[in-house]
Amino acid sequence: MTTLALLALTCVLLGAYVAWLLRDLSKKTAHQKQVEEGRQQRIENHRRDLGILLRCLDEQQVELSEACLRVKLTLNAIQSLGATTPDHEVFERMYLELENHPVGEARNRLQKQERRQWDLKRWEIEGRYRDSLMEEGRQLMQWLQAASLAKNVGETAV
């Protein structure tokens, strides 16, 4: 009789332990799902921002150097979240040439002549990359449109 009671108690305790493990697993799964949804939302936000930047570039509403810096950093942000992006070699090369140029407040603190010298360098770089940057921008826009279409198809299928 004592053995049977011990066996029953062991079964109850094991059952309680299994229930606790299942509840803990359910919480972790829900948390992981929430984290993944947040990551996907951040990727989509960056892709939306990238689309805006690329449209501005295509419509020549932004200087090439400004667009290059912003597009490159936005692509880096997308990649940092684990999403893949197409090659963007032209943006990379131009970014490397521009990354040490003063911007914002640092640029405003320059003397007029210094600022002009930096502008001349920047314009020369923009001139060299103009056509290839515009073409790569159009390719990135096509990739964005295809990614958006694939996402919408996936949502419809689910």
In a domain, 125, yes or no: yes
CA angle 121, 127, 129 (to 5 degrees): 105
d(CA 118, CA 63): 14
Residues of 82-120 as b/e, b for ≥16 C-beta within 10 angstroms? ebebeebebbebbbebbeeeeeeeeeeeeeeeeeeeeee
CB 137 within 8 A of CB 57: yes
Cβ atoms within 10 Å, residue 125: 18
Each residue's pLDDT, cut to its tens digit, for the chain (158 residues) gives 688 888 888 888 888 888 898 898 888 888 889 888 999 899 999 999 999 999 999 999 999 999 999 999 999 999 999 888 888 999 999 999 999 999 889 989 999 999 999 999 999 999 999 999 999 999 999 999 888 766 655 554 33
In a domain, 118, yes or no: yes
In a domain, 21, yes or no: no
In a domain, 3, yes or no: no
What is residue 156's predicted lDDT score, i.e. its pLDDT?
41
In a domain, 65, yes or no: yes
In a domain, 11, yes or no: no
d(CA 152, CA 158): 10
Cβ atoms within 10 Å, residue 153: 10
What is residue 3's predicted lDDT score, i.e. its pLDDT?
85
Residue for token pair 């992006």: 85
Following DSSP, what letter does each residue of 62-117 receive, concatenated?
S-HHHHHHHHHHHHHHHHHTT------HHHHHHHHHHTTS--HHHHHTS-HHHHHH
Domain containing 133: what range? 41-150
In a domain, 45, yes or no: yes
In a domain, 27, yes or no: no
The structural domain count of the chain equals 1
